[in-house]
Structure 1
Amino acid sequence: MQTEEIRAVVGRLGALVAEHYVFPETGQEVADRLAAATADGRYDELREPERLAERVTDDLQIGNHDKHLRLRFHRDGLPDEADPIAEEAHWRRRAALDAGGMARVERLDGNIGLLEIRPLLYAPTHAGPAVTAAMTLLASTDALLLDLRRCLGGSPDQVAFVCSHLVDADDAVHLNDLVTPADGTTRQFWTSPYVPGPRFGGSKPIWVLTSSVTFSGAEELSYNLQQLGRAVIVGERTGGGAHPRRGFKLHEQLEATISVQRAMNPVSRTNWEGTGVTPDVDVPADQAFAEAYRRAAEHVLCLPSDPERNTVTDEARTVLGAEVVAG
């Protein structure tokens, strides 16, 4: 990149932040800071887009620590958000390659379900059938482990769709609000009375696995279930990004990601921005599965005897430890 192109990219970025950032005063402060840095030549020598993205992102997040506010480098390029056909094709292709985000669907020993979602909660228009397929396989399990340790975010509509499978059909549950200061609007998200397949339902226990990598939409899914008392969070405090973002293409490999809304949970009346979702059971991420599985197995072992249900096998008991054997 040449100096003129670098300055044009940063200038456009500053204008977008001033126009769209969720907190207008902060957005103008950020834009002014970028303009001053550009005038001082702070970015002129950063000929490689990746290096430019790193330094500008550091400057964007000074003071606000908003991890959604970034100049993001895409090695393989990115579609133009102004071209909806190309953008739709991009996301549909990504969702297909990632199995709609349903990275692992398994029925563990003890009739315990495991659903790992990564890398993203793709929009229902792209990945709704994948969620339906996963939940069809898991609906009859006696407990569920929802692994979000490597989930980086995604669609709030998909969050609501997943949550709809984890409550009863006759429950209308208010999950989250997204407030857009720019136009003063608020969009509410509720569970749906209809899903196209079976539900796991609202009574069987759920453990959600988290890590410091768990971010954005994955945090919302964790936070929603925690605030509703629907799940126990096991693992690490999450990344702390509660401001949904919008992307703008500034260069073939550079995208401005700008926070344009703020989440408002109807139970807590706040969100997880900057703090992350606090786990109910605080353990290192690499121990979260074993801890959650142990708890789920203890639950299953206390259920009434049923010859149709697989019990926890000797192999699983060995993995889980003596306390499960004793149970």
Structure 2
Amino acid sequence: MASASASFALISIFCRVFITDASFQPALVLDMAKILLDNYCFPENLIGMQEAIQQAINSGEILHTSDHKTLAAVLTAGVQGALNDPRLTVSYEPNYVPVTPPALPTLPTEQLIRLIRNSVKLELMDNNVGYLRIDRIIGQEPTVRLGRLLHENIWSKLIHTSAMIFDLRFSTAGELSGVPYIISYFSDPDPLLHIDTIYDRPTNTTREVWTMPHLLGDRDMAKVLMDNYCSPEKLAGMEEAIDAASSNTEILAIEDPTVLATVLTDGVKSTLRDPRVKVTYEPDYVPEVPPAIPDIPPEQLAAVVKDTVNVEVLEDNIAYLKIQHIIGEEVAQKIGSLLLEHVWSKVLPTSAMILDLRYAVTGEMSGIPYIVSYYTDAEPLIHIDSIYDRPSDSTSELWSMPTLLGTRYGTSKPLIILTSKNTIGVAEDVAYSLKNLKRATIVGEKTAGGSVKIDKIKVGDTDFYVSVPVAKSINPITGKSWEVKGVTPDVRVDAEDAMDAAIAIIKLRAEIPMIVKAAASLVAKNYAFESIGVDVAEKLEALLNSGEYSMVSSKKQLKEKLSADLAKLSGDNCLKITDNSPTMLPTDASPEMLIELIKVSFQTDVFENNIGYLRFDMFGEFNQIVVVAQIIVEQVWNKVVDTDALIIDLRNNAGGSINPIAGFCSYFFDADREIVLDKLYDRPSGTTKDLVTLQELTGRRYGSKKILLILTSRAMIVGEPTSGSCQPPNPFQVGDSDIFLAIPTTHSDTAQGLAWEGTGIAPHIPVPADTALDTAKGILNKHFSGQK
């Protein structure tokens, strides 16, 4: 009835108007009526209006009017009265030019700030009562743009009051998008409240207005990070840093949102020291939805698998498998049989594998256990990784799988993983896990240091997004993560050289069992102490069989490990890898050069009380000493031979050949009788020979009457216990390789007493090595002073 009455009232109005001026065109009235019908927000009040007007026009009762302003006034009064809506007006303005006020978001920042300051007033009144007057409701975009400034300068000053007076008496303008912001500040974040429902007649659409779960000030970009960033321990000071940035006038003056996003990104990265966090401005961003695997024919699916996974069998039966995307559990279950047929069946019979992850930039976390499990044994199950998820504040453990589709590659065959600086995310986790399980060797470049999961989160109702790592890997073996830092390769080479390096490693590992076994055999057959040699050989082969040498990646690493293992197993540091290149005197050396060499090799002095001092740090080969014997006598020996006592300093002597020992010791005994210095057992020949003094020497003897401090039975020993080294070892070629093993083949005959090999010689007067010379001089000086 109400709508019908309104229609008849409008007919009466139009009839009255038309009677005043019969010359007025009825079409104009119909056009105005149509504007109401198409745009008035209460269409239910306009039912039947157009038909009624047309009927009145056709009735012939309409007259003409010549005053358009009068017509407009009459129409306004009639429409307002009929629809009971004072907001409706009709005006006649022949010179009207539409004026569009500038949109607030397009205003320069300083002008926008000035407008807000002029339209907002606040005061703290008695009894902790806040007063807030707003004369213009600003919309969403200005609020987001200046949100932190509004919060710091307005809301933060009123939030702690006990009551508030909100003055809207002079509020005559505003934007609808600003309403949720204001009401939300006066409500709780949960549950959300349905504020209003807005019907838009031109588009014939309705939308609901609700309170907001996220507000600028205490629930904005800072909250996105505080609630989602995977390492909360690094967030100390984050809110304060964002507060400072948001109230920074230089930042507020940035009008380009893309530039603003870049500035915010730099600030967040600097605070967190995490390059993965990124702020972007993307008004057209549409979240990606992972496409479901379509039901396509098997032959097409097989073609897709072939295009995404590159598989090849190289020379020497080496498998090459290149993966660019690590599929998850759901996809693996759907195409698993195709992967077995077109990929895995080709690499399974190979002797070694190169897994190329240099181009792997995407992947699913659920695929990690699948890949790792194929390179490990079924039992026992292995704790691969722990993933902490920040939004849910929960940690899930990734374990190897007891059952798999197809056969495992196993743990005995070499696995090399290639990486580059572009390897990122889930692929990094696979590489890091297999590396720390000591199942794979990483070759290439340090990886990107990404994340197992990064979410792009919208900041409130803005077009700004924050890309946040929301989960992190915590390796159960290292207790650390590869994220941010990246995975450091075992063998670091440029990405383009990684393939060649991997092949070289695989070829070396094929030779290692032969090399280690050959070294063990040499030790068993030649080491000076037979029982120890046999025991060392057995234990070295046991280390080989247990996989101790399976991760060796270079010839240098092999030599170092062999030396370390032999020394540990035998307790003899002389049993080690050698370069088999003894130092030789220059064959074309001039007499002058030889003299200079002798001078730097020996050090002499004569102290108080005619005490001689002789130091040399190595025993040379006998055939070399014979060549320069006369020079040594003239340049070295003759300086100390006439002293009354001699200190021979062997504190830094590294040993050397056994051949010159007899000749050197002979200088300190008389020529009238032969002295047995030692009995030496030679393991390869099984014979024992005496080491005796020589009858003929170059130069004069020191004799047996003068005091001597030296490391033999002829001398008093002062200093620290000796290192307990060995008789000079002999070099042996290990198999057909270019590696040589130094093996002590001779030892002092233990039937004559305890040998010094391995245990060293205890000094008569134990003192620290750096005070031994002063102690020896003191002993001799005291001795000679007592004789005077």
Q: TM-score, normalised by structure 2?
A: 0.33
One-letter amino acid of the counterpart of residue 326, structure 2: L
Task: Give the Cα separation in 2 of the matches to 1:52 and 1:98.
Answer: 42
| CA distances 1:147-193 after superposition (whole Å, capped 9, x unpaired) | 11222353221122111111123341110011245655321001111
Q: Post-superposition shift, 1:137?
A: 3.0
Is 1:89 the counterpart of 2:280 in the alignment?
Answer: no
Counterpart pick for 2:445 among 207, 217, 236: 236
Find the counterpart in structure 2 of residue 124 from structure 1. 329
Q: Post-superposition shift, 1:76?
A: 8.6
User: SS at 1:230's partner residue?
Assistant: coil
Find the counterpart in structure 1 of residue 496 from structure 2. 286
Give the 5 Å matches for 1:65-214: 65-71=273-279, 77-79=285-287, 87-89=289-291, 99=305, 102-118=308-324, 120-126=325-331, 129=335, 132=340, 133-180=342-389, 184-214=393-423
Q: Residue 275 and residue 28 in structure 1: after superposition, are their counterparts in 2 closer, same or farther (change >3 A)?
A: closer
Contact between 2:227 and 2:390, CA under 8 Å: does it hold in 1?
A: no
Q: Post-superposition shift, 1:234?
A: 0.6
Q: Post-superposition shift, 1:205?
A: 0.9
Give the 5 Å matches for 1:37-56: 37-40=245-248, 42=251, 45=254, 47=256, 49=258, 51=259, 53-56=261-264
One-letter amino acid of the counterpart of residue 470, structure 2: V
One-letter amino acid of the counterpart of residue 149, structure 1: R
Q: Residue 88 and residue 215 in structure 1: after superposition, are their counterparts in 2 closer, same or farther (change >3 A)?
A: closer
Is 1:269 the counterpart of 2:479 in the alignment?
Answer: yes
| CA distances 1:235-279 after superposition (whole Å, capped 9, x unpaired) | 122223356433324599865321223322111122223432221
Find the counterpart in structure 2 of residue 16 from structure 1. 224
Task: Give the Cα separation in 2 of the matches to 1:194 and 1:24.
Answer: 37
Task: Give the Cα separation in 1 of the matches to 2:412 and 2:448.
Answer: 29
One-letter amino acid of the counterpart of residue 185, structure 1: S
Task: Give the Cα separation in 1 of the matches to 2:423 and 2:396.
Answer: 24
Q: Residue 182 and residue 236 in structure 1: after superposition, are their counterparts in 2 closer, same or farther (change >3 A)?
A: same
Counterpart pick for 1:62 among 257, 265, 270: 270
Task: Give the Cα separation in 2 of the matches to 1:256 and 1:167.
Answer: 38
User: SS at 2:237's partner residue?
Assistant: helix
| CA distances 1:186-240 after superposition (whole Å, capped 9, x unpaired) | 2100111122233222221100111222222221111101100100111122223
User: SS at 1:88's partner residue?
Assistant: coil
Find the counterpart in structure 1 of residue 169 from structure 2. none
Counterpart pick for 2:467 among 251, 257, 267: 257
Q: Residue 74 and residue 190 in structure 1: after superposition, are their counterparts in 2 closer, same or farther (change >3 A)?
A: farther
Q: Post-superposition shift, 1:42?
A: 2.1
User: SS at 2:411's partner residue?
Assistant: coil
Gaps (5+ residues) in structure 2?
Answer: 1-104, 110-140, 149-215, 295-300, 515-736, 739-788
One-letter amino acid of the counterpart of residue 18, structure 1: M
Q: Residue 285 and residue 98 in structure 1: after superposition, are their counterparts in 2 closer, same or farther (change >3 A)?
A: farther
Task: Give the Cα separation in 1 of the matches to 2:344 and 2:356.
Answer: 14
Q: Post-superposition shift, 1:284?
A: 1.3
Aligned residues: 295
Q: Post-superposition shift, 1:285?
A: 1.4
| CA distances 1:77-99 after superposition (whole Å, capped 9, x unpaired) | 4426xxxxxx232898xxx9985
Deviates more, 1:234-243 or 1:139-148: 234-243
User: SS at 1:261's partner residue?
Assistant: strand
Find the counterpart in structure 2 of residue 29 from structure 1. 237
Q: Post-superposition shift, 1:115?
A: 1.6
Contact between 2:251 and 2:260, CA under 8 Å: does it hold in 1?
A: no
Task: Give the Cα separation in 1 of the matches to 2:507 and 2:346.
Answer: 19
Q: Residue 48 and residue 150 in structure 1: after superposition, are their counterparts in 2 closer, same or farther (change >3 A)?
A: farther
Contact between 1:172 and 1:193, CA under 8 Å: does it hold in 2?
A: yes
User: SS at 2:427's partner residue?
Assistant: helix
Counterpart pick for 2:435 among 221, 226, 232: 226
Contact between 1:7 and 1:44, CA under 8 Å: does it hold in 2?
A: no
Task: Give the Cα separation in 2 of the matches to 1:100 and 1:78.
Answer: 30
Contact between 1:68 and 1:243, CA under 8 Å: does it hold in 2?
A: no
Contact between 1:135 and 1:200, CA under 8 Å: does it hold in 2?
A: no
Task: Give the Cα separation in 2 of the matches to 1:101 and 1:223.
Answer: 26
Q: Residue 260 and residue 176 in structure 1: after superposition, are their counterparts in 2 closer, same or farther (change >3 A)?
A: same
Find the counterpart in structure 1 of residue 454 from structure 2. 245
One-letter amino acid of the counterpart of residue 88, structure 1: P
Deviates more, 1:156-165 or 1:252-261: 252-261
Task: Give the Cα separation in 2 of the matches to 1:60 and 1:230.
Answer: 38
Deviates more, 1:65-74 or 1:165-174: 65-74
Task: Give the Cα separation in 1 of the matches to 2:284 and 2:312.
Answer: 32
Q: Residue 89 and residue 181 in structure 1: after superposition, are their counterparts in 2 closer, same or farther (change >3 A)?
A: closer
Find the counterpart in structure 2 of residue 84 from structure 1. none
One-letter amino acid of the counterpart of residue 279, structure 1: P
One-letter amino acid of the counterpart of residue 117, structure 1: I
User: SS at 1:258's partner residue?
Assistant: strand
Contact between 2:451 and 2:469, CA under 8 Å: does it hold in 1?
A: no
Measured on the aligned residues, the alpha-carbon RMSD in Å equals: 3.9
User: SS at 1:193's partner residue?
Assistant: coil
Find the counterpart in structure 2 of residue 313 from structure 1. none
Task: Give the Cα separation in 2 of the matches to 1:73 and 1:98.
Answer: 35
Contact between 1:235 and 1:285, CA under 8 Å: does it hold in 2?
A: yes
Q: Post-superposition shift, 1:17?
A: 0.8
Contact between 1:212 and 1:238, CA under 8 Å: does it hold in 2?
A: yes
User: SS at 1:192's partner residue?
Assistant: coil
Q: Which one has a bigger Cα radius of gyration?
A: 2
Task: Give the Cα separation in 2 of the matches to 1:117 and 1:72.
Answer: 30
